[in-house]
Amino acid sequence: MKDLYTLPKAELHLHIEGTLEPELAFELAARNGVELPYASVEELRRQYDFEDLSSFLELYYATMAVLHEASDFEALTRAYLNRAAGQGLRHVDVFFDPQAHTARGVPLEAVVDGIRAGLDAARAQHGITSTLLLCFLRDRPAAEALAMFDGLGDQLARIDGIGLDSAEVGHPPALFEEVYARARDAGLHVVAHAGEEAGPEYVREALDVLRVERVDHGIQCLQDPRLVERLVAERVPLTVCPQSNVRLRVVRTLAEHPVLEMLERGLVVTVNSDDPAYFGGYVGDAFQGLREALGLTDEQAAALARNAVDASFAGAPRKREMH
Ligand code: ADE
Ligand code: ZN
């Protein structure tokens, strides 16, 4: 059997703020004079027992408040890519949540400067290529997303696409129709989280109203066989995150996760880590977990890895290089 940690991989669903390990969180908290409401790294890690998406998001936003300077975002990004480089990562489309930082008074430019510096370093050191996707927070007003998009100025050229994340239920994709239309007009890639906790209608709206190129998570499509048929026929990539689904109690155990069944049904499935610092593993660990829990074969692993390269936003020459 092939070593899943050295299998070359692309990752398409990765929140950079979700790579913040407790050790770095405490280091940055001390540097920036931010008080974390936990006595130690161990105590913070003990909080990682989530009920659902909302209970995770509460801790995720609270902990990222240690990120202030461009150098903090660079340290975060470098730490993620150094780890992922050791797990076979060759390309990553990175999400970030700018509203969670600008709302705390951190300038957007500092956030992008830092992340971009980390991505550039990974390209130079490890040959890992990347794109940067700006996510709007769906539990904040759509008008705020529009204002942020319209105010991007010089930063517009430094992002490759947009996404939609945060608390899903009650915040359907269609609310963000206008900002997605503007992003598409600007030539950006467009993706959205849909069908993580909410049902198949959110996936359909993401496709029909937002006209997304990929669906993030998407596993609730399984409730609707006609939607599954459509996703297969239209070859819409789904960025599935098995460990995340288990840790946020969308699926009971990894052994019950439908990801391989989805692959066998012809869905364009990819495997991703989502928020690896919180959910118990990076992209190589995600593949290895599927081998241990579901008996992932070498052929299935190769199909998942191939899907991810094809569905990534790496340019055509880079995709050829990775195949
Ligand atoms: N933000 C970070 N991780 C997320 C997830 N899994 N779903 C929605 N928003 C997120
Ligand atoms: Zn996500």
pLDDT given at position 131: 98
Q: pLDDT-based confidence at 177, cuts 50/70/90?
A: very high
Q: Which residues on adjacent β-strands are paired with residue 91?
A: 10, 129
User: Which position has the token pair 């206008």?
Assistant: 178
pLDDT tens for each residue of 56-81 = 999 999 999 999 999 999 999 999 99
CA 211, CA 216: separation in Å to the nearest integer? 13
Residue 196 is a catalytic residue? yes
Rounded Cα–Cα distance for residues 33 and 323 (Å): 46
At 286 the pLDDT is 98
Q: From the CA of 18, how far away is ligand 2's center (Å)? A: 9
CA of 201 to the centre of ligand 1 (A): 19
Q: pLDDT tens-digit profile of 244-303?
A: 999 999 999 999 999 999 999 999 999 999 999 999 999 999 999 999 999 999 999 999
DSSP secondary structure letters along 70-82: HHHHHHHHHHHHH
pLDDT in tens, 21-37: 999 999 999 999 999 99
Q: What is the pLDDT of residue 161?
A: 99
Predicted complex: ipTM over 0.90: yes
Contacts of 269 (CB under 8 A, 6+ apart): 237, 238, 240, 259, 262, 263, 304, 307
Which pLDDT tens digit goes with each residue over 80-107? Answer: 999 999 999 999 999 999 999 999 999 9
Q: Which CATH architecture group holds 9-316?
A: Alpha-Beta Barrel (3.20)
Residue 143 banded pLDDT, cuts 50, 70, 90: very high
Mean pLDDT of 307-323: 97
Per-residue pLDDT, 315: 96
pLDDT at residue number 65: 98
Q: Is 206 in the pocket of ligand 1 (CB under 6 A)?
A: no
Q: Does 274 count as an annotated binding residue?
A: yes
**Residue extents of the structural domains in the chain:** 9-316
What percent of the chain is modeled with pLDDT above 70?
100
Q: What is the reported pLDDT for 34?
A: 97
- DSSP letters along 147-180, please? HHHHT-GGGGGG--EEEEES--TT--GGGGHHHH
Taking the CA of 12 as reference, the closest ligand is 2
Question: Using CA positions, which residue lies closest to atom 8 of ligand 1?
Answer: 166
Residues 198-217 have a mean pLDDT of 99
**Residue 319's pLDDT band (cuts 50, 70, 90):** very high
Q: What is the pLDDT of residue 44?
A: 97
Set 11, 196, 197, 205: catalytic member: 196
In this prediction, residue 41 has a pLDDT band, given cuts at 50, 70 and 90, of very high
Q: How many Å lie between the centroid of ligand 2 and the Cα of residue 309?
A: 18
Instruction: Report the C-alpha gap between 137 and 245 in whole angstroms.
Output: 19
* Helix, strand, coil fractions of the chain, as percent rounded to 5: 55, 15, 30
What span, in angstroms and rounded, lies between the C-alpha atoms of 108 and 304?
34
pLDDT given for residue 167 in this prediction: 98
Put residue 159 in one of left, alpha, beta given phi > 0 → left and psi -120 to 50 → alpha: beta
* Residue 193 beta carbon below 6 angstroms from any ligand 1 atom: yes
CA distance 149 to 145: 6
The rounded mean pLDDT for the chain is 98
Choose one of 95, 166, 279 to mutate for the ligand 1 pocket test, by most ligand atoms within 8 angstroms of C-beta: 166
Residue 166 alpha carbon to ligand 1 centre in Å: 5
The separation between CA 227 and the C-alpha centre of its own chain, rounded to angstroms, equals 23
Instruction: Find out whether 193 is annotated in a ligand binding site.
Output: yes
For position 311, what pLDDT does the model report?
98
Phi, psi of 43 (to 5 degrees): -65, -40
Instruction: Look up the pTM and report it.
Output: 0.98
Which band of pLDDT confidence, cut at 50, 70 and 90, is reported for residue 322?
A: very high
Question: Is the CB of 244 within 6 Å of ligand 1?
Answer: yes
Ligand nearest the Cα atom of residue 247: 1
Q: What is the pLDDT of residue 234?
A: 98
CA separation for the pair 36, 241 (Å, rounded): 28
H-helix segments, 151-268: 177-185, 200-208, 225-233, 242-247, 259-264
